[in-house]
Amino acid sequence: MNDHRRKPRRNLDRVVEVQDTMTDAVIGHLGNLSETGMLIQAEQGLIDDALYQFRFVLIDQAGGRRAYEVGAHHLWSEPAAIPGRIWIGFRFIDVSPDDSTHLRQWVEADATAH
């Protein structure tokens, strides 16, 4: 299968929780991530076409932790293969330039690790 996304994505090799910063609730965990969007696996659906503010923490190759806060637009959702789970796709609409640079480097580090 050919992947025609505009930006490369990196699959996660560990559980990374995604927190809604407005409610402080964990809404799910990352499935994959790019500098422009993310896929989350959640236990319950979110409002279609809504805007959200999320926080998550990534660990770089050196073991450093960095927290990211992003504004995201809910694009789509569909049931996951695991009963009671939902895949939800988001496009980032607000990421600081510094965070965007670090996200791109984090995604690209996966490609150079293979």
Grouping H, G, I as helix, E, B as strand and the rest as coil, residue 79 is: strand
**pLDDT beyond 50 at 105:** yes
Q: Which of these CATH numbers, 1.10.420.10, 3.30.70.20, 2.40.10.220, 1.20.1540.10, describes 10-112?
A: 2.40.10.220
Q: In this structure, what token pair is assigned to residue 86?
A: 């939902």
Q: Alpha carbon 48 to chain centroid distance? A: 17
Q: pLDDT over 70 for what percent of the chain? A: 90
- Round the average pLDDT of the chain to a whole number and report it: 89
Q: What is the mean pLDDT of residues 66-84?
A: 95
Decide: 53 and 19 in contact? Cβ < 8 Å. Answer: no
Q: What's the pLDDT at 12?
A: 86
Rounded Cα–Cα distance for residues 37 and 94 (Å): 10
Decide: 28 and 38 in contact? Cβ < 8 Å. Answer: no
